[in-house]
């Protein structure tokens, strides 16, 4: 049996007045693998522990197969947890560790047949008589998985189970977990701060920030249509280019978005998404360009929907199969400081005049003790004016472009670029996506 898990407006406060999880609502279907993704401290583990019954729910409801379960003891939930640190008993062999939950649950029964079957499924028969200290990290995690599986739980709750392993093993075990949970058809909630892991594993990914759900959807949909600038910046490698822009929509001329010294002229006839940008006229926005939206080529090579800009090569990152080129285009990077920082939500929120990004900026200022980008300046401010953000940005340049290793580029070269406006994201001062239109559904064929 596998479970439907529903959270309805679930909140958690450890300290009065501070919600580390804030009115979270999520419906996880039976057999689904849902990944909870977010930066450190955003409340992922707390959510998992509330589902497991290891943490009390401060507010809201947890439903298991539609039944109210806030007060159900952990053992009655029949869920298995797998942790980052494996949590094996050091004085027991793998056989003892895997069989342990069975010996507790059914003291009179011989656990051996189920332990053997589980070990076969995981390919660890040869490890059954070894102690944890005689196992590698990956082997230990397989044994821990075995211990989770052997009880035939109704759900798996996995808390960064692979983060103690090296990259190669992580990839390998990630594939194993994916295959295994699908084969067993058991509802799985998987916590990670690694977006690549989330994207490759999840049927759906739920992105959390400061205890608040930002977006939930298939990996493809959250990548293709991030709801806000935080999700856009958190998902995707290399990280999306986020630049400060200014919408120019003269009544008698072409619409464009200024990016410091350069501008993107929106092609006519304007698409519906671009038409709707008219309401942002004169306002500062955040332009999001993933690296696949930009290519190195001159204006003559432009395809419909592509517009030219120029870039100065600042840094070339050779990665073997591809090269990441950092360009200076004379624009100002927009900073999303919450990406790595914990931001518990205050329930007694002091709602001041101003935007979300304003608040982000303030927090970042407090965290870093330095200046941060001004994202909601008055309308009449010239966008070309140098801003403090430029000094803050640690990476050279303001635009990262992915290209093939056969193109020879050196620091200081001026290079023509084409921007595909079909892949343009625009976020408003609150960090919400305004283009493509917020109501747009992904048309991805999935
Ligand atoms: N027992 C506790 N008492 C008080 N505060 C806690 C407790 N457990 C967690 N917190 C706080 O709650 C917030 C969320 O913690 P949680 O462990 O859920 O985050 P996380 O997203 O899983 O982080 P990480 O990825 O670093 O494990 C953090 O600010 C943390 O300090």
Chain segment 57-100, per-residue pLDDT in tens: 999 999 999 999 999 999 899 999 888 776 889 999 999 999 99
Whether 23 contacts 8, CB under 8 Å: no
Residue 49 Cα to ligand 1 midpoint, Å, equals 11
What is the best residue among 16, 38, 42 to mutate for testing ligand 1's pocket, by most ligand atoms within 8 Å of CB? 42
C-alpha atoms less than 13 angstroms from C-alpha of 167 in its C-beta half-sphere: 2
Name the residue with higher pLDDT: 314 or 386.
Answer: 314
CB 14 near ligand 1, within 6 Å: yes
The per-residue pLDDT for 358 is: 44
Protein residue closest via CA to atom 9 of ligand 1: 46
Residue 432 pLDDT > 90 = yes
CB 48 near ligand 1, within 6 Å: no
The per-residue pLDDT for 352 is: 38
Region 188-192: what's the mean pLDDT? Answer: 96
238 upstream amide cis, omega within 30 of 0? yes
Shortest-distance atom of ligand 1 to CA 38 = 21
pLDDT tens for residues 319-337? 888 999 999 999 999 987 6
Structure tokens at 8: 């309805």
Percentage of residues in the chain having pLDDT higher than 90 = 56
Rounded Cα distance between 193 and 202, Å, is 13
CB 146 near ligand 1, within 6 Å: no
pLDDT tens for residues 19-58? 999 999 999 999 999 999 999 999 999 999 999 999 999 9
The per-residue pLDDT for 407 is: 84
Rounded Cα distance between 45 and 51, Å, is 10
Residue 46 Cα to ligand 1 midpoint, Å, equals 6
Please report the ipTM that was assigned to this predicted complex.
0.97
pLDDT tens for residues 362-397? 443 333 322 233 233 223 223 333 333 333 345 678
The per-residue pLDDT for 19 is: 94
Rounded Cα distance between 372 and 337, Å, is 9
Rounded Cα distance between 218 and 185, Å, is 18
CB 41 near ligand 1, within 6 Å: yes
CB 145 near ligand 1, within 6 Å: no
Rounded Cα distance between 159 and 86, Å, is 10
356 upstream amide cis, omega within 30 of 0? no
The per-residue pLDDT for 320 is: 86
CB 193 near ligand 1, within 6 Å: yes
Of the candidates 103, 63, 56, 101, the one whose C-alpha atom is nearest the C-alpha of residue 82 is 101
Query: Could you please report the per-residue DSSP string of 309-372?
Result: EEEEEEEEEE-SS-EEEEEE-S--BPP-GGGGS--PEESS----SS-HHHHHHHHHHHHHSS--
Shortest-distance atom of ligand 1 to CA 14 = 4
What's the mean per-residue pLDDT of the chain?
A: 84
Residue 179 Cα to ligand 1 midpoint, Å, equals 30
What does residue 36 show for φ and ψ, rounded to 5 degrees? -95, 115
pLDDT tens for residues 121-168? 888 999 999 999 999 888 888 899 899 888 889 999 999 988 877 888
Rounded Cα distance between 102 and 244, Å, is 58
Rounded Cα distance between 436 and 137, Å, is 44
What is the best residue among 17, 43, 57, 163 to mutate for testing ligand 1's pocket, by most ligand atoms within 8 Å of CB? 43
Q: Which of 79-88, 188-197, 302-311 has the lowest mean pLDDT?
A: 79-88
CA distances from 98 to 143, 158, 176, 277, 307 (A): 7, 17, 18, 58, 60
Residue 344 Cα to ligand 1 midpoint, Å, equals 9
H/E segment holding residue 22:
strand 18-28
Residue 40 Cα to ligand 1 midpoint, Å, equals 8
Residue 41 Cα to ligand 1 midpoint, Å, equals 5
Whether 336 contacts 229, CB under 8 Å: yes
Question: How many helices (DSSP H) and strands (DSSP E) are in the chain?
Answer: 12, 22
- Torsion, CA 170, CA 176, CA 178, CA 179, rounded to 10: 160
CB 40 near ligand 1, within 6 Å: yes
Residue 270 Cα to ligand 1 midpoint, Å, equals 46
Whether 144 contacts 87, CB under 8 Å: yes
Domain ranges of the chain: 5-224, 240-435
Shortest-distance atom of ligand 1 to CA 45 = 22
Rounded Cα distance between 20 and 329, Å, is 39
pLDDT band for 338, please (50, 70, 90 cuts): low
Protein residue closest via CA to atom 5 of ligand 1: 14
The per-residue pLDDT for 206 is: 98
CB 214 near ligand 1, within 6 Å: no
Name the residue with higher pLDDT: 352 or 199.
Answer: 199
Residue 213 pLDDT > 90 = yes
Residue 443 pLDDT > 70 = no
The per-residue pLDDT for 82 is: 86
Q: Which residues pair with 416 in a beta bridge?
A: 310
Neighbouring CB atoms inside 10 A of 49's CB total: 18
Rounded Cα distance between 234 and 399, Å, is 17
pTM equals 0.83
Region 193-199: what's the mean pLDDT? Answer: 93
Q: Does domain 5-224 have CATH number 3.40.50.300?
A: yes
């Amino acid at each position: 049996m596998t479970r439907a898990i529903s959270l309805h407006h679930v909140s958690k406060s450890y300290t009065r007045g501070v919600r580390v999880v804030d009115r979270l609502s999520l419906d996880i279907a039976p057999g689904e693998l849902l990944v909870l993704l977010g930066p450190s401290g955003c409340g992922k583990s707390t959510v998992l522990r509330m589902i497991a019954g290891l943490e009390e729910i401060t507010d809201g409801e947890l439903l298991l197969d539609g039944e109210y379960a806030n007060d159900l003891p952990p053992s009655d939930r029949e869920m298995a947890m797998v942790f980052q640190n494996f949590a094996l008993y050091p004085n027991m062999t793998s056989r003892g560790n895997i069989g342990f939950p069975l010996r507790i649950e059914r003291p009179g029964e011989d656990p051996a047949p189920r332990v053997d079957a589980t070990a076969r499924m995981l390919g660890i028969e040869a490890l059954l008589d070894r102690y944890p200290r005689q196992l590698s990290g990956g082997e230990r995690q397989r044994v821990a998985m075995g211990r989770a599986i052997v009880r035939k739980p109704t759900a798996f709750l996995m808390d960064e189970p692979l983060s103690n392993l090296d990259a190669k093993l992580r990839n390998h075990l990630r594939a194993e977990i994916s295959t295994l949970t699908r084969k067993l058809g058991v509802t799985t909630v998987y916590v990670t701060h690694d977006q690549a892991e989330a994207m490759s594993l999840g049927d759906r990914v739920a992105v959390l920030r400061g205890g608040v759900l930002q977006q939930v959807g298939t990996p493809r949909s959250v990548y293709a249509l991030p709801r806000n600038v935080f999700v856009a910046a958190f998902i995707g490698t290399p990280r999306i280019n986020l630049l400060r822009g200014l919408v120019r929509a003269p009544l008698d001329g072409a619409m464009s978005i200024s990016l410091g010294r350069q501008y993107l002229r929106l092609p006519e006839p304007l698409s519906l998404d671009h038409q709707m940008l008219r309401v942002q006229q004169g306002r500062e926005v955040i332009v999001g360009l993933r690296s696949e939206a930009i290519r190195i080529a001159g204006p003559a090579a432009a395809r419909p929907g592509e517009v030219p800009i120029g870039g100065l090569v600042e840094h070339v990152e050779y990665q073997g199969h591809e090269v990441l080129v950092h360009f200076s285009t004379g624009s100002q990077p927009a900073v999303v400081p919450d990406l790595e920082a914990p931001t518990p939500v205050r329930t007694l929120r002091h709602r001041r005049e101003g935007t979300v990004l304003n608040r982000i900026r303030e927090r970042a200022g407090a965290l870093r003790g330095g200046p941060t980008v001004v994202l909601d300046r008055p309308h009449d401010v010239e966008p070309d004016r140098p801003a403090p953000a430029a000094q803050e940005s640690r990476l050279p340049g303001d635009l990262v472009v992915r290209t093939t290793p056969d193109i020879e580029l050196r620091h200081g070269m001026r290079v023509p670029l084409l921007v595909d406006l079909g892949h343009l994201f625009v976020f408003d001062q609150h960090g919400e996506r305004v283009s493509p239109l917020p109501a747009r559904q992904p048309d991805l064929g999935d």
